[in-house]
Amino acid sequence: MLRFAYSSLPWKGKDLEYNLGMLAENGWEGWETRESLDQLGTPARLRRVCADAGIEIAAVSGPNVSSAHDAQESLERCMRRIEFAAECGAGLFMSKGPAHGPVSPTTDAELDLIASHYDTLAEHGQKMGVKVAWHPHVNHFVDSEAEWDRFLQRLTTCKLCLDMAHVVLWGFEPSQAARDHANRLAYVHLHDDLTRDNTAGDLGDGPMCDYGDFLRTLEEVGFHGWIVTVSGGTRDPWESMKLNREYLRSIGF
């Protein structure tokens, strides 16, 4: 059975107890945290808040991995969040690579370097039972079908967060991408109405793909990880929690 979680990316305010309670009330099972460790508090506190709400931590999201002068510093920050995820009982850490902008295609040397950083993080996570997943994102170092193929063949340990909206913007069909990369797939993001300017809506505002077919494909390939809806933040955050879950129910999930 597929499991559905919600990203805290569009949340306003810091009342974590209230936000998680609203998630549970609207039928979500899990939550992807984007908050700083200062906001989240200790792992013990976070486990307690989640248990009280009846919400699991689907993943801890981290800072971008860098290929510049601050690469080692970014790796250290990611490692601390991986360790935090382990102490909270979260089984996955997700991150995306450096922003790229409208520049020439990423070089093989840069792809090699970033892939080695992600595999280093994945090996660190393995020691603590935390999977590490790379999140593809438009306007970042991988920003085309060709770069996607070139980068994925360089990863050996790191897993994939398949964000269907970003691959749609590259011209991929999400269900086929799920079939092609089923053995690497650890995490899934759902967006709708996403643009290259990084504006987005809620599920049903597009739609960007046949979401029902995509989710059924995930079932067919034996995906057992979390599927996380990410709202674009165009509505009241608690209205979006409800609308997104209702949309999934309307297509049979």
| Cα–Cα dist 43/179, whole Å | 36
pTM: 0.96
What's residue 103's pLDDT?
A: 65
**Chain CA centroid to CA 131, Å:** 12
CATH of domain 3-250: 3.20.20.150
Find all residues with CB under 8 Å of 253, minimum gap 6, and list them: 2, 4, 212, 215
In SS3 terms, the chain reads as CCEEEEECCCCCCCCHHHHHHHHHHCCCCEEEECCCHHHHCCHHHHHHHHHHHCCEEEEEECCCCCCCCCHHHHHHHHHHHHHHHHHHCCCEEEECCCECCCCCCCCHHHHHHHHHHHHHHHHHHHCCCCEEEECCCCCECCCCHHHHHHHHCCCCCCEEEEEHHHHHHCCCCHHHHHHHCCCCEEEEEECCCCCCCCCCCCCCCCCCCCHHHHHHHHHHCCCCCEEEECCCCCCCHHHHHHHHHHHHHHCCC
Residue 70: the pLDDT is 84
Q: What is the mean pLDDT of residues 183-201?
A: 96
> What is the pLDDT, as a whole number, of residue 107?
92
Question: Over 70: is that where the pLDDT of 112 sits?
Answer: yes
Check residues 100 and 75 and name the one with the higher pLDDT: 75
* Percent of the chain's residues with pLDDT above 70: 98
Sign, CA dihedral 231-234-237-241, equals negative
Residues in a beta bridge with 92: 131
Query: What separation, in Å, do the N-terminal and C-terminal C-alpha atoms of the chain show?
Result: 10
d(CA 11, CA 245): 16
What are the residue boundaries of the structural domains of the chain, listed by start?
3-250
Find the mean pLDDT for residues 24-37.
Answer: 96
Place of tokens 């964000």: 163
pLDDT(12) > 80: no
Q: Are 49 and 23 in contact (CB under 8 A)?
A: no
- Average predicted confidence (pLDDT) for the chain: 95
pLDDT at 102: 65
Distances from the Cα of 135 to the Cα of 42, 77, 153, angstroms: 26, 17, 15
Q: In the chain, pLDDT over 90 holds for what percent of residues?
A: 88
Reported confidence tier of residue 105, pLDDT bands at 50, 70, 90: confident
Mean pLDDT, to the nearest integer, of 207-235? 97
- Predicted confidence at residue 101, as pLDDT, reads 66
| pLDDT digit string, tens, across residues 143-183 | 998 999 999 999 999 999 999 999 999 999 999 999 999 99
Confidence of residue 28 (pLDDT cuts 50, 70, 90): very high
CA 223/CA 219 separation, integer angstroms: 6
Confidence of residue 13 (pLDDT cuts 50, 70, 90): low
